[in-house]
């Protein structure tokens, strides 16, 4: 934690827990009036302000502003928030460690001590994003996939092992352990943290964090406040910089009743996501309350919290209560830690029970859990929920849009005794942090598989099936329950411990199946228990992607198609030729609850997490480089020294006006970070593919973009290169192409950007609403700036991406007064001039002069989306990393 503040309000008290003594900063004794009805999440922020009040970064007025939120239920005040720790996964963690290594080198160049670049807050990096489903439906799939993972990622893993040794306060959870969010929920998180401050006393305070993955919010289910940020913002937090934020609005979501028979936590979270997207909660906290919490298991809470990015909120938090304590005990936390959580929460008014006053919120909405029905979401967005009973009809309508087909087409598959049709499910994956942390839905999948196998049902031969648990504990309780064998019988052998299909690591489809889809333009389907189903994400061959509960994933593997109504049509026939319906094999809530009670044990968690940092033999055998600065290998195609600090001086140069900039792309609504940031497989004929082949990397060894995030040369070539992105500058196109103007030559976006760079022409990107939705990918901002983009002008931003753009020195502007790219008639042939950049202030009006190809021009007023004074400092320094580096070098 480092130093506590000066305690001007004299709120420091002592808490006795058993034989232990802890100091803490008492909310009740800070003289702030009655704050009992302040939302739980804002009590956590208030304590953070109180504990870090130093008269500079946190003032008494900041503390009082959080408490005064009750009067207006909103605030425009900026605060400096300091999370207790940082969580990373390897896709975002590798570039973060690359940046830290580059900062050490830059610090040396500035005449400073490179060891000043060192995490000041605890950092845990979990390697979970690199395993791919190359092998599946076999007993050796896990072993073979892990062997390939180490073969492909040796350079990256050697670099991370160097970082683990070179940096203090930095731990790495090796490959093959689980998904970072499940490891966090089951092991790393404490709900209440404790550490020594500068006085040598042990201080207790809420467990808080930021993470370099959007779904960091999953731990909100455990009463831990945390959310996803870009890698660049996480690096600043690691180096002691506060997270600058506005005191948020808090939307209360009241839950009543209980789930009815036949529904799951997945159905619930898809319903919640749909409701909150419709409500509009971007940039806001969501906090759950109401009598429905009394019967809601913590794993279900974590499932709901996990999808906060999908419903657009900064976080989706639950309060601390007896269920929190039960989960902590059941996952192997010590009795002493559980006692501290209970005592602290009750002392601070953060405990939920029937006697606690109901919090006050900015706004509320309500759901009776009994109204939730079996659901999927798709085919393109997680908020597009459809009832299971309407899924077949919804796909039929989607097919008309995706392929202009009224009826499904059927084509032969070479060498197979079956054909393939539009809507056939070619991927069925139990995957992702959202559901694999929840024993009830995983055991339900196992029970459904057991019932299906007993009736003689099998998966369809064209379905690629996989099971990728979020932790090794899942393997233990499935095996103890005797349910892994029936899952194996249906092809759901364990393929890896990691995110796999949900992030696009689904691996290749069998060649004849892929050819049948590609050659005939079929609209194939995927059903996965994940949280993301954006276009182009799951597989290049799959266009209709549906999120569903693990038992429904198994059911669709058996049905083999989205065109079948699983509520009225049989999945198949039993051994006697009788039809078998979903209702015949669906496990009862009683059976699922019994399976959880009988098979999920605390000793499993203790055993699996007892040696969590050791890793498999392949990890232990990696040779570790020495030295406090990294020896960059010029020929490496995985790790390269990025150019962010080249030519950097101690005094930043003032930002300059953007004059006669050309649009690199004009984009529609809901452009996600999946569209912007390089993700998935690298194609041989792409700019990134040409680069790798030029460095003697054969196509079979390309690996994924995610695995090469430590090499800016690869990543900038893949920015805006998603196969499904549609640039309105090239009507009718799909993929990362644009026009180089004024001559109008169509070419890859990277090639055009480099051509403009050679001509000295600055660039802008223009887009619609919800720009930057999706994962907290810092490369969506890093790639943007490396391509030469100076400003992004849109109708609205998603929270994390806007922050990341500022953190890379890109100016975010937002249309106002109803102006859009459409009302302005923009086609990309225009030039854009933005003046007064050096004197810009947060959220001020900024005039953009648009000059058309015919020479006419008009002025459009936009809002500067640099939201805080801290962000303004980052922008003036060329980015947050440059700001931090100069600050540390000058200290």
Convert the pLDDT of each residue in 123-180 to its tens digit: 999 999 999 999 999 999 999 999 999 998 998 999 999 999 999 999 999 999 999 9
Task: Point out which residues pair with 209 in neighbouring strands.
Answer: 85, 226
pLDDT number for residue 92 = 84
Q: Which of 17-21, 143-147, 533-537, 782-786 has the lowest mean pLDDT?
A: 533-537
d(CA 683, CA 693): 11
Q: Within a domain: residue 616?
A: no
pLDDT number for residue 57 = 87
pLDDT at 683 over 80: yes
Pick 231 or 772 by higher pLDDT: 772
pLDDT at 685 over 80: yes
| Domain termination site, one of 81, 96, 127 | 81
Buried b / exposed e over 716-734, threshold 16 CB at 10 Å, is: bbbbbbbebbbbbbbeeee
Residue 868 banded pLDDT, cuts 50, 70, 90: confident
Q: Within a domain: residue 636?
A: no
Contact between 800 and 229 under an 8 Å Cβ cutoff? The reply is: yes
| Domain termination site, one of 371, 393, 419 | 371
- CATH classification at residue 672: 3.20.19.10
pLDDT number for residue 241 = 85
276 and 413 together in one domain: no
- CATH classification at residue 210: 3.30.499.10
Which residues lie below 8 Å from residue 264, measured CB to CB, with a gap of 6+?
374, 440, 441, 444, 549, 551
165 and 27 together in one domain: no
99 and 28 together in one domain: no
Q: Within a domain: residue 635?
A: no
pLDDT number for residue 534 = 86
698 and 666 together in one domain: no
pLDDT number for residue 209 = 97
pLDDT number for residue 774 = 75
Taking CA atoms, 97 is separated from 127, 156, 235, 612, in Å, by 13, 11, 8, 21
Residue 325: what are its φ and ψ, rounded to 5°? -65, -40
d(CA 102, CA 117): 10
pLDDT number for residue 679 = 79
Q: Within a domain: residue 650?
A: no
89 and 149 together in one domain: yes
pLDDT number for residue 1 = 64
Q: Within a domain: residue 396?
A: no
**What is the rounded average pLDDT of the residues 851-878?**
94
The domain in which residue 517 lies consists of 403-609
End-to-end CA distance of the chain: 20
pLDDT number for residue 724 = 87
d(CA 408, CA 413): 16
Q: Within a domain: residue 378?
A: no
261 and 135 together in one domain: yes
45 and 129 together in one domain: no
**What is the rounded average pLDDT of the residues 783-804?**
93
Q: Within a domain: residue 391?
A: no
Q: Within a domain: residue 139?
A: yes
574 and 706 together in one domain: no
| Domain termination site, one of 36, 60, 81 | 81
Q: Which two tokens stand for residue 751?
A: 């090639």
pLDDT at 378 over 80: yes
pLDDT number for residue 597 = 97
807 and 879 together in one domain: yes
Q: Model confidence over 708-750: pLDDT tens digits?
A: 999 999 999 999 998 889 999 999 999 999 999 999 999 999 9
Number of domains in the chain: 5
665 and 696 together in one domain: no
pLDDT at 113 over 90: yes
Strand, coil or helix: 453: helix
Contact between 506 and 432 under an 8 Å Cβ cutoff? The reply is: no
822 and 714 together in one domain: no
Residue-wise DSSP of 112-127: S-GGGSS-SS-EEEE-
**What is the rounded average pLDDT of the residues 835-847?**
95
55 and 104 together in one domain: no
Structure pTM?
0.87
pLDDT number for residue 240 = 84
- The distance from CA 787 to its chain's CA centroid, rounded to whole angstroms, is 24
């Amino acid at each position: 934690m480092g130093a506590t503040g000066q305690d001007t309000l004299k709120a420091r008290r002592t808490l006795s827990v058993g034989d232990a003594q802890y100091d803490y900063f008492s909310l009740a004794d800070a003289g702030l009036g009655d704050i009992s009805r302040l939302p739980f999440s804002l009590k956590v922020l208030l304590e953070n302000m109180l504990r870090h009040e130093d008269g500079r970064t946190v003032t008494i007025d900041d503390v009082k502003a959080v408490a005064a939120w009750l009067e207006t239920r909103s605030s425009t005040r900026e605060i400096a928030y300091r999370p207790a720790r940082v969580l990373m996964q390897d896709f975002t963690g590798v570039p973060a460690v690359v940046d830290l290594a580059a900062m050490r080198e830059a610090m040396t160049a500035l005449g400073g001590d490179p060891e000043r670049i060192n995490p000041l807050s605890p950092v845990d990096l979990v390697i979970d994003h690199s395993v791919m489903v190359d092998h599946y439906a076999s007993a050796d799939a896990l072993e073979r996939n892990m062997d390939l993972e180490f073969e492909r990622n040796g350079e990256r893993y050697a670099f991370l092992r160097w970082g683990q040794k070179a940096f203090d306060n930095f731990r790495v959870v090796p490959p093959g352990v689980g998904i970072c969010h499940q490891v966090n929920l089951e092991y790393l998180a404490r709900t209440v943290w404790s550490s020594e401050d500068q006085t040598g006393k042990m201080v207790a305070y809420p467990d808080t964090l930021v993470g370099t993955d959007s779904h960091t919010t999953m731990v909100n289910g455990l009463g831990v406040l945390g959310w996803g940020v870009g890698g660049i913002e996480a690096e600043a937090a690691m180096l002691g910089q506060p997270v600058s934020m506005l005191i948020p609005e808090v939307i209360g979501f009241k839950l009543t009743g209980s789930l009815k028979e036949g529904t799951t936590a997945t159905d619930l979270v898809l319903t919640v996501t749909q409701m909150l997207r419709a409500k509009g909660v971007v940039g806001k906290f969501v906090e759950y309350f109401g009598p429905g919490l009394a019967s809601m298991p913590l794993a279900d809470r974590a499932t709901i919290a996990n999808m906060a990015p999908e419903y657009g909120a900064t976080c989706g938090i639950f309060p601390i209560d007896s269920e929190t304590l039960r989960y902590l005990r059941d996952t192997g936390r010590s009795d002493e830690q559980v006692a501290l959580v209970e005592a602290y929460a009750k002392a601070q008014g953060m405990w939920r029970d029937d006697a606690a006053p109901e919090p006050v919120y900015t706004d509320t909405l309500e759901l009776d859990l009994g109204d939730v029905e079996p659901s999927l979401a798709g085919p393109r967005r997680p908020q597009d929920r459809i009832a299971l009973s309407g899924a077949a009809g919804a796909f039929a309508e989607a097919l008309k849009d995706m392929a202009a087909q009224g009826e499904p087409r059927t084509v032969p598959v070479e060498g197979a005794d079956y054909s393939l049709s539009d809507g056939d499910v070619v991927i069925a994956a139990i995957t992702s942090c959202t559901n694999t942390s929840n024993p009830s839905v995983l055991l339900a999948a196992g029970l459904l598989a057991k019932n299906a196998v007993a009736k003689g049902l099998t998966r369809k031969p064209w379905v690629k099936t996989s099971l990728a648990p979020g932790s090794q504990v899942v393997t233990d309780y499935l095996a103890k329950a005797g349910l892994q064998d029936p899952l194996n019988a249906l092809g759901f052998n364990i393929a890896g411990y990691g995110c796999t299909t949900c992030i696009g690591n689904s691996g290749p489809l069998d060649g004849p199946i892929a050819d049948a889809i590609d050659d005939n333009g079929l609209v194939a389907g995927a059903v996965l228990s994940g949280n993301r189903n954006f276009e182009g994400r799951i597989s290049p061959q799959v266009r209709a992607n549906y999120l569903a509960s693990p038992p429904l994933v198994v059911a669709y593997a058996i049905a083999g198609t989205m065109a079948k109504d699983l509520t009225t049509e049989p999945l198949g026939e039993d051994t006697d030729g009788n039809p078998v319906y979903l209702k015949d094999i669906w496990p009862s809530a009683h059976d699922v609850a019994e399976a959880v009670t009988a098979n999920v044990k605390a000793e499993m968690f203790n055993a699996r997490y007892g040696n969590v940092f050791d890793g498999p033999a392949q990890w232990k055998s990696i040779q570790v480089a020495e030295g406090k600065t990294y020896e960059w290998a010029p020929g490496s195609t995985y790790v390269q020294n990025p150019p962010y600090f080249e030519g950097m001086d101690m005094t930043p140069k003032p930002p300059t006006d953007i004059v006669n900039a050309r649009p690199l792309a004009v984009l529609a609504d809901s452009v996600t970070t999946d569209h912007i940031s390089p993700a998935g497989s690298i194609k041989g004929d792409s700019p990134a593919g040409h680069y790798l082949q030029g460095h003697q990397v054969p196509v079979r060894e390309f690996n994924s973009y995610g695995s090469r995030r430590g090499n800016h040369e690869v990543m900038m070539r893949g920015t805006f290169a998603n196969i499904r992105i549609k640039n309105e500058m090239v009507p009718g196109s799909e993929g990362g192409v644009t026009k180089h103007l004024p001559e109008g030559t169509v070419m890859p976006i990277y090639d055009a950007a480099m051509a403009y760079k050679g001509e000295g022409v600055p660039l802008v990107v223009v887009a619609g609403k919800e720009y930057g939705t999706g994962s907290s990918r810092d490369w969506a901002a890093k790639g943007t700036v490396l391509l030469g983009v100076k400003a992004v002008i849109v109708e609205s931003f998603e929270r994390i991406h806007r922050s990341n753009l500022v953190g890379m020195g890109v100016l975010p502007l937002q249309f106002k007064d109803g102006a859009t790219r459409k009302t302005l008639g923009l086609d990309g042939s225009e030039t854009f001039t933005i003046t007064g950049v050096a004197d810009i202030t947060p959220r001020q009006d900024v005039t953009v002069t648009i000059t058309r190809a015919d020479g006419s021009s008009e002025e459009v007023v936009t809002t500067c989306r640099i939201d805080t004074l801290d962000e303004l400092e980052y922008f003036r320094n060329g980015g947050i990393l440059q700001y931090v580096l100069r600050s540390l070098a000058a200290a």
